[in-house]
Amino acid sequence: MAAGMFTDAWFASEWRALGFFYDRNDDQKRWEITGTRNGLQAFSAAIRGYAADPEHDWVSCHCNLGPYDYLEIGTWDVAVIDNHWIAGRLEDLLALAGYLDEWLITAQPGMSLSARSFHSPSAPYDLCLYLMEPGFDPASLDESLL
C-alpha cells in the first residue's frame, strides 16, 4: 500500500466513485443505501452485474462493495437480507435489481423504498433505499470523515 492511501480524501473519493453511501443500522435492522437516481442505479447495477456472472453461481460466493467493504452481495440457496449481506440465488438477485430499477423510474427525491417484502419477507434485516436530490455527495454521510 502506498503511504497515505487511506486518507479522508481517499475514502471520500471512493464513496463518490461508488455513487452511493451505505450503512448498516443494527438498531433498526436495516441496510440503508442513499444516493441520487444515478447513484441508486449504480447500486442496482452492482447487484445485476454480480448476478449476471455465472461464475458466481455457488453458495457463499460474494463481492464486497465500497471503501470499507462491509456490504456484501452474495449467493445463497434462499433470498436473505441480514447483518452480513444481501444474498440469494442469482435469479433472486436479478429480480431484486429489476425491482429497484422499476421503483427508480417514478421515484422522486425524498422518497424511500423498503425492499424486504419483495426480496425476502422473513429476513431479519430490511434493505432501504433513499433517493436524494441531484448533487448529493455520498461522502457527506460518512461520519468518520473530517
CA 16/CA 61 separation, integer angstroms: 26
| Residue among 20, 32, 41 nearest 137 (CA) | 20
Q: What's residue 146's pLDDT?
A: 72
CA 146/CA 142 separation, integer angstroms: 9
Is a pLDDT exceeding 60 seen at residue 3? Answer: no
User: What percent of the chain has pLDDT above 90?
Assistant: 95
Q: What's residue 108's pLDDT?
A: 98
CA 129/CA 115 separation, integer angstroms: 8
Is a pLDDT exceeding 90 seen at residue 5? Answer: no
Q: What is the pLDDT of residues 27-80, one digit of tens each?
A: 999 999 999 999 999 999 999 999 999 999 999 999 999 999 999 999 999 999
**pTM of the complete model:** 0.94
For the chain, which domains are there?
21-138 (3.30.1360)
Q: What's residue 4's pLDDT?
A: 58
CA 72/CA 87 separation, integer angstroms: 8
State in Å, rounded, how far the first CA of the chain is from the last one: 22
The confidence band for 135, taking pLDDT boundaries of 50, 70 and 90, is very high
The confidence band for 1, taking pLDDT boundaries of 50, 70 and 90, is very low
Residues 110-115: what's their mean pLDDT?
98
